[in-house]
Chains A and B, each alone.
Chain A
Amino acid sequence: MTVKFTINGVGVESAAGANVLDTARRYGFEIPSLCHHEAVVPYGACRLCLVEITKGGRKKLTTCCNYEVLEGISVVTDSPAIRQHRAMVLELILAEAPDAEPVRELAKQYGVDTSRFAKAAGAGTAEKRDCILCGLCVRVCSEIVEVNALTFNGRGDQKGVGAPYLEQPQNCIACGACAWACPTNCIGFVEEGGMRKVVKWKRELPMAKDDQGRPFAPVFQLTHFKQRAKAIQADFYKKAPGDR
């Protein structure tokens, strides 16, 4: 079923069940966000995709990543109030992740060069690095990779992300999807000496070698993918991606 509504006065269409953010981006409207990826379920953590949505005559500011498209709503993606709130959110995020280039670039677009808030405790350290608790790593790990190695821990200003019980994640196959999805590049991903290490989770796993004897992927990762994709022929897993 198709749903019709407007964004900044322009008529748009989307399949029912889609969210406003993905639809807006498909039509070329720019809305910032750091916690959203179209492959996973929207979470609404970073609060940057604030827009103004009018539904049944009632106007309100809301995030649009977790707003399902509805017939007849009208969306405004930019206004002085929206910019002001986004700038403030960026100041908050910048204090959490002062060294993250993507955050700094986005902040600059909103006129935020420095944050008026003190650098968050632990920001930039090996423990916390530049994590902004967007939850993309957790969602990708559970929804896409389906190994559920990661979770949030604690709550409020004590909230963190990592393996259950803050131990080395036993389910982690070092596939690196979390590091790839991370908007602040704070997870870290190193391959050396036949081992792959996911730095933030302190997970280090031996890699399998291809038919040329070169290490190309962690053994656990290959085993997991074999189980999930039975149709692929067996020698697929003996070749490095470039040789297939």
Chain B
Amino acid sequence: MGKIRNPKELHSYREELLAKRTASRKVIAVCCGTGCNASGARKVAQALVDEIQKQGLAKEIDVRPTGCHGFCERGTLVLMHPEETLYQRVKPEDVPAIVEKTVKNGEIIAEHLYDDPVSGEKHVKEYEIPFYKHQERLILGKNGLIDPTKIDDYIALGGYQALAKALEMGPDRVLDEVKRANVRGRGGGGFPAGRKWETCRNAGRQQNALPPSGEAREGGSVPAEKRYVICNADEGDPGAFMDRSVLEGNPHAVIEGMIIGAFTIGSDEGYVYVRHEYPLAVKHLTVALEQAREKGLLGKGILGSGLCFDIKINRGGGAFVCGESTALMASIEGKVGEPRAKHIHTVVAGLNGKPTNLNNVETWANIPLVIEKGADWYTKIGTKSSPGTKIFSLVGKVNNTGLVEVPMGMTLRQIIFDIGGGIPKGGEFKAVQTGGPSGGCLPADKLDIPVDFDTLVEQGSMMGSGGMIVMDDKTCMVDVAKYFLNFLKFESCGKCTTCREGLRRLHELVTEITEGRATLETIQLIEELAATVEAGSLCALGTTAVNPVRSTLQFFRDEYLAHVNEKRCPAGVCKALITYEITDACTGCMVCKKRCPESVISGDKKQKHVIDTAGCIKCGICNDVCKFDAVRVY
């Protein structure tokens, strides 16, 4: 079918799709997100297609390569609908048995099931697994149902119905709905999207000159002034991959959100600014845009309305700072990606000096939901001040690494322990950093705070775009601060003295601490300098860059003092301050001796070994390879 000319045709097209699909109800969804892909998901999917073809089941079973299911720790994930049986860590060679036993005969293969390391239970259904059970996957859930390269999959699930509804509602009512839903920007700041849209829509227009709702469409909808909508997909936080997975797995949700936004604001041109390092996201988005154009969902006269809108992809060169709205817009304009002062907001004068509304991937993906189900439904999820869900990438020292989507207001403890399965190898929780590199590190006594935009800021951290890095007792918090300062000083655009020089100096000072060269004055200077970097920098990258060092100083001051006063690293991480020693538990197995790259371990077989500390480079390999826990770090 070619262009869909009006909402009615969209509806009947969907009915057609659904009718075809009842014949082949069984769907095997193979997670082909970037994580699973790396462990060979494409090969698993191909093997499934081949095997099903061989067995003559192609008509009854649809093998669907989908976007990320979130449970990256256990990839490749194979999810069978409608039973929702989940097989994890599937390899291509497992496929024939899976088809023979499970697909044909409904027999469960126990070895592919998820076994809970905490309870020891095996779970058959995806929704029974604790990792999924506690989530509310409004956005991510669709990833497991859609082949992102097929617009029909999205439409069959009810895709673009929200757009049809929005066109019927008219811009005023759509705006009202988004405002009432209080959708807050998922990119970090948490600014209400509805208010942003409204300012952008009214920028440069006389209030009373606004055409009454509906008239704008019929009258051809060329806005009085050029306006842009932008999707910020320049996700640059180390360890964060929320936006990537949404774009890779469900690009049409973002596109639909943007079209609704453009309709409301009065824009005819949109951009998705996406990292060039996200090739799969770029590919899927490109395919999705082409298909949306073919179906008449982008271009002129969308769904028979007067709405004209199209989206271009702008690939970023991987500068962290280009995630900042003004730097991003400078980059689209072909200029150096440097932020400018926002005394005049981008909603008034943004890209090319025109009113520009920028939201991030996840925010746009929330919009169709809000329109489809309404603000009343949406505000029932999450908290009063932060409605809806939020996607986090849960990484670091946690059992279940992956993407999780939870209602706002869930506590850190629930996310890290109930969903994340706690700390691996019996380790102890020490801190969690929320909000990416410029977020703060929160200690164990903050585990019970609800995660929403305002509470995190109150506690000295932030929501950011949703990175969540868990740290255990073997993590040195001074070293963590040093790591993030190093990242930020490199990723600063270098324009402001306070950010460029300030972060360089903060990194130097923290390095002095980790190398045992610091005094108490160093800590004082860090605090003084951090205050100026925060107060004096132009953009949010600079003003928030001090969060890691300041929050660790606030919550883990003891560790700093141990480094400074006792020249000791309590976590045993900072190389200049630690010593490796072999204890009496040594059985003389020779393993560490063989593996020591500097050959400074001596001792005969079945004799206690000794490290010559003078030549030791503190690489820690002896500790890692020792089976008897006989290497002590102090």
Contacts and interface: CB of A to CB of B under 8 A. Distances in A.
B537 interface: yes
A47 B498 contact: yes
A157 B336 contact: no
A66 B535 CA distance: 16
Interface stretch (A91-99, A182-190, A196-204): A91-99
Contacts of A43: 495
B528 interface: yes
Interface stretch (A24-32, A148-156, A215-223, A224-232): A148-156
A50 B535 contact: yes
Nearest to A132: B497
Interface residues of B, number: 33
B503 to A, nearest CB: 7
Contacts of B531: 85, 88
B505 A117 contact: yes
Contacts of A155: 319, 321, 490-494
B525 A133 contact: no
Given A45-B496, A66-B343, A152 B490 contact: no
A61 B497 contact: no
A62 B494 CA distance: 18
A23 interface: no
Interface in B480-502: 489-498, 500-502
A77 B468 CA distance: 41
Interface string A74-104: 0000000100110011001101100000000
Nearest to A68: B343
A110 to B, nearest CB: 12
B123 interface: no
Interface size class of A (residues with CB under 8 A): 35 or more
B198 interface: no
B340 interface: yes
A51 to B, nearest CB: 11
B352 interface: no
Nearest to A82: B535
B501 A66 contact: no
Contacts of B502: 92
B496 A92 contact: no
A132 B501 CA distance: 10
A159 interface: yes
Contacts of A67: 341, 343
Contacts of A158: 490, 494
Interface in B307-350: 319, 321, 336, 340-341, 343-344
Interface string A114-158: 001110100000000000110100000000000000011011111
Contacts of B336: 151-152
Contact of B497 (A66, A84, A92): A92
Nearest to A43: B495
B482 to A, nearest CB: 14
A44 interface: yes
B538 interface: yes
B505 A92 contact: yes
Interface in B538-552: 538
Contact of B341 (A48, A66, A118, A157): A66
A21 interface: no
A14 interface: no
A46 interface: yes
Contacts of A46: 497
A192 to B, nearest CB: 35
Nearest to A46: B497
Contacts of B491: 155-156
Contact of B536 (A47, A68, A118, A133): A47
Contact of A88 (B344, B489, B528): B528
Contacts of B341: 44, 62-63, 66-67
For A66, A135, A151, A156, which residue has the most chain B Cβ atoms within 10 angstroms? A156
A180 to B, nearest CB: 22
B16 to A, nearest CB: 52
A39 B316 CA distance: 33
Contacts of B538: 44, 47, 63
B501 A152 contact: no
Contacts of B528: 88
Contacts of A120: 501, 504
A154 B497 contact: no
B529 interface: yes
B508 interface: yes
B497 A157 contact: no
A43 B330 CA distance: 14
Nearest to A135: B495
B492 A156 contact: yes
B500 A88 contact: no
Interface in B454-487: none
A67 B343 CA distance: 7
A67 B529 CA distance: 24
Contacts of A156: 489-494, 500, 503
B532 interface: yes
Contact of B501 (A62, A84, A95, A135): A95
Contacts of A47: 496-498, 536-538
Contact of B340 (A50, A62, A66): A66
B569 to A, nearest CB: 23
A182 to B, nearest CB: 16
B541 to A, nearest CB: 10
B598 to A, nearest CB: 30
Nearest to B525: A116
Interface in B408-430: none
B246 to A, nearest CB: 28
B497 A152 contact: no
A63 B536 CA distance: 8
A85 B489 contact: no
B508 to A, nearest CB: 7
A117 B502 CA distance: 10
B321 A92 contact: no
For B319, B336, B489, B532, which residue has the most chain A Cβ atoms within 10 angstroms? B532
A50 B500 contact: no
A159 B500 contact: yes
Given A47-B537, A63-B341, A92 B501 contact: yes
27 contacts: A44-B340, A47-B496, A47-B537, A47-B538, A66-B341, A67-B341, A81-B535, A84-B532, A85-B531, A88-B528, A88-B529, A88-B531, A88-B532, A89-B532, A92-B497, A92-B505, A93-B501, A96-B501, A118-B508, A120-B504, A155-B490, A155-B494, A156-B503, A157-B503, A158-B490, A159-B493, A159-B500
The list of the 8 closest CB pairs from A to B, nearest first, reads A159-B494, A88-B532, A92-B501, A156-B492, A157-B504, A66-B341, A47-B536, A156-B490
Interface of A: 43-48, 50, 61-63, 66-68, 81, 84-85, 88-89, 92-93, 95-96, 116-118, 120, 132-133, 135, 151-152, 154-159
Interface of B: 319, 321, 336, 340-341, 343-344, 489-498, 500-505, 508, 525, 528-529, 531-532, 535-538
Given A67-B341, A155-B493, A159-B494, 8 more contacts: A61-B535, A85-B531, A118-B508, A120-B501, A133-B497, A135-B495, A155-B494, A156-B494
